[in-house]
Amino acid sequence: MASNDRAFDARYSQARSALRGELVAVLVLGVLLLVVLVVLQWYLARRFHRILNPGVLGATVCTLLAVLLGAQVISASAGHLRVARHDAFDSVVALSRARAIAYDANADESRYLLDPERRGRYERAFLEKSQQLYGLRGATLTSYDAELATTWQAYRADRRDLRFTGEFRRELDNITFAGEQSAAEETVEAYAVYERDDRRIRALLAAGKEREAVEFCMGWEAGTSNAHFGAWMTALDKVTDINRQHFTTSVRDGRSAVTEQLPGGCALLLAAMALTCLGLRPRFAEFR
Query: pLDDT tens digits for 208-258?
Result: 999 999 999 988 899 999 999 999 999 999 999 999 999 888 888 877 777
DSSP string spanning 60-119?
A: HHHHHHHHHHHHHHHHHHHHHHHIIIIIIIHHHHHHHHHHHHHHHHHHHHHHHHH-GGGH
According to DSSP, residue 177 is labeled S
Q: How much is the pLDDT for 11?
A: 66
How far is the C-alpha of 51 from the C-alpha of 49, rounded, in Å? 7
SS3 135: strand
What angle, rounded to 10 degrees, do the helices at 225-285 and 210-218 form? Answer: 20
Of 3-7, 89-93, 118-122, 131-135, the poorest mean pLDDT is in 3-7
C-beta separation of 180 from 243 below 8 A: yes
**Whole-number CA gyration radius for the chain:** 31
> Which one has a higher pLDDT value, 138 or 49?
138
pLDDT in tens, 67-111: 888 888 888 888 877 888 778 888 999 999 999 999 999 999 999
Q: How confident is the model at residue 187 (pLDDT cuts 50, 70, 90)?
A: very high
How far is the C-alpha of 68 from the C-alpha of 34, rounded, in Å? 12
Task: Give Cα 66 to chain centroid, integer Å.
Answer: 31
- Among residues of the chain, what percentage have pLDDT more than 90? 51
Q: How much is the pLDDT for 26?
A: 83
How far is the C-alpha of 96 from the C-alpha of 82, rounded, in Å? 20
Position 51 pLDDT exceeds 80: no
Q: How much is the pLDDT for 269?
A: 82
Residue among 191, 218, 231 nearest 110 (CA): 218
What's the whole-number average pLDDT of the chain? 87
